[in-house]
Amino acid sequence: AQTVTQSQPEMSVQEAETVTLSCTYDTSESDYYLFWYKQPPSRQMILVIRQEAYKQQNATENRFSVNFQKAAKSFSLKISDSQLGDAAMYFCAYRTPQGGSEKLVFGKGTKLTVNP
C-alpha cells in the first residue's frame, strides 16, 4: 500500500524568508501524481501545487515550487518570500491512476507558522 510521510509535524519561518517542507512516499508504481494541499484555520483544503511523476521538470506556482526526486521518492515544497497568509497545515498527497481508484493518500501534515 502506498504511504506518505511528512517527518516535520511543525515548522516556522520568518516573514519574507524561505522554508522547505519535506515529504517522502512509498510506492511500487511508476506512474503517479503528487500534490501539496494547504489547510488554513478555516479548514478549507486548498490545492497548492501538483506534479506528474513522468515529468522531470519541477512544478512551480508563483512563490511555491517543488523539488521532486523520483528515485529517492521525495517531494518537498519550497515556499519563497513567506507571507503571514501562508500560515496553515500543509498536506502532501499521492495518487495513482491505476488500481481502479483515484483516491488521494495523505501524509499527517506539517503545521507552518509564519512569524512577523
Is residue 92 a contact partner of residue 77, using CB atoms and an 8 Å limit? yes
Q: Decide: is 10 part of the binding site for other proteins (CB under 8 A).
A: no
Question: Cα separation of 23 and 32, whole Å?
Answer: 15
Q: Decide: is 97 part of the binding site for other proteins (CB under 8 A).
A: yes
Is residue 74 a contact partner of residue 7, using CB atoms and an 8 Å limit? no
Options 9, 28, 41, 42; binder of other proteins; rule CB under 8 A: 42
Q: Decide: is 43 part of the binding site for other proteins (CB under 8 A).
A: yes
Which CB sits closer to other proteins, 44 or 69?
Answer: 44
Options 10, 52, 61, 81; binder of other proteins; rule CB under 8 A: 52
**Closest to 35 in 3D by CA, of 80, 81, 66:** 66
Minimum separation from the CB atom of position 62 to other proteins (A): 16
**Closest to 2 in 3D by CA, of 116, 112, 104, 109:** 104
Residue whose C-alpha cell reads 501524481 in the numeric block: 33
Q: Decide: is 47 part of the binding site for other proteins (CB under 8 A).
A: yes
Residues at the contact surface with other proteins, assessed by CB under 8 A = 33, 35, 37, 42-47, 50, 52, 91, 97, 100-109
